[in-house]
Amino acid sequence: MTNVHENILGLIGNTPMVRLNRVTSNIPANVFAKLESSNPGHSTKDRIALHIIEAAEKKGLLKSGSTIIETTSGNTGFSIAMVSIIKGYKCVLSVSDKTKPEKIAYLKALGATVYVCPANVAADDPRSYYEVAKRLATEIPNSIYINQYFNELNIDAHYQTTGPEIWEQTDGKITHLFACTGTGGTLSGSSKFLKEKNPDIKIIGVDADGSVLKTFHETGKLDKSEIHSYQIEGLGKNLIPGALLFDRIDEFVRVNDETSAYRTREIALKEAIMGGYTTGAVVQALLQYAQNHSLTDKDVIVLIFPDHGSRYISKVYSDDWMAQQGFSNNCVHNYEEVFKTEFIK
């Protein structure tokens, strides 16, 4: 039989790439989105979940009845829970209270035990989802803690798969790569491979307003005064992840909640791509970058779209939620006028 897999894990990777035509129409470059939502778990995190778990199996760290523990904003948890089902492991996840109820329901539907922890506490606070996961790993016998933020296999998964796929899909013509940075594994692994192929490729990290990564990249210092709450999930950090290779990144662009939210919805309406909140963030970062850099029709820009918008229906795709955030003023007015004119006849 042709193109038939033994189980769902065979569908991980080899995700498609599509040209963006309308949301980036004012940029002269060729812009393409790599749709990681095409993975069976609907995000790029499928790659690291499978890679890290299979590496643990090879080392003998996972045995029958083992428990896999991890921190997650949702996507990594979905992927680990999915892999755990196929391979026969238990799954325990700690999430922040920024995580929407439907994401938690999704995790539970995949058999995971979920601990909800406060988001607005320091990373070393015993209540943080980092520290809760560490504690659970000491309390639950026959368990391993994935620790994606400081696991080099997070980087290696993308070095082995995402980077080579991008190189092949662009016939080696890529000039810029943009990706959101949470753990940093996607951008670090992809950039490590691509820089080996062509050191002139520009690697652009996307950071959130309220995160410390951009300033740390520029100064080498963690400025805690920059830390404040924000709504974009899976983007930015209040600590410095060990899986983020700052020396492989040329520049960071910082984006905010409001513009990223409207950009996410614009992508759906103009390109028919239902992406997650970080999809809007990475496009917004490109538009901001283009204001300060000269781009031409010779440039080939790849944006990694990390996940699917179905996980954000009650958040960024909800008019009520947008209004609750106070996302109004000129941004809302212009958005409504554009789409009433173009799409509602």
Q: Which residues are catalytic?
A: 45
Nearest residue to 225 (alpha-carbon basis) of 238, 234, 236: 238
For residue 125, give every residue at least 6 positions away whose Cβ sits within 8 Å of its Cβ, in sequence order, or none: 131
DSSP state letter for 59: T
Query: What count of other Cβ atoms lies within 10 Å of the Cβ of residue 249?
Result: 23
Query: What count of other Cβ atoms lies within 10 Å of the Cβ of residue 30?
Result: 20
Hey, what are 268's tokens?
């759906």
Do 247 and 200 touch, CB atoms closer than 8 A? no
3-state secondary structure 167-215: HHHCCCCCCEEEEECCCCHHHHHHHHHHHHHCCCCEEEEEEEECECHHH
Hey, what are 52's tokens?
């890290």
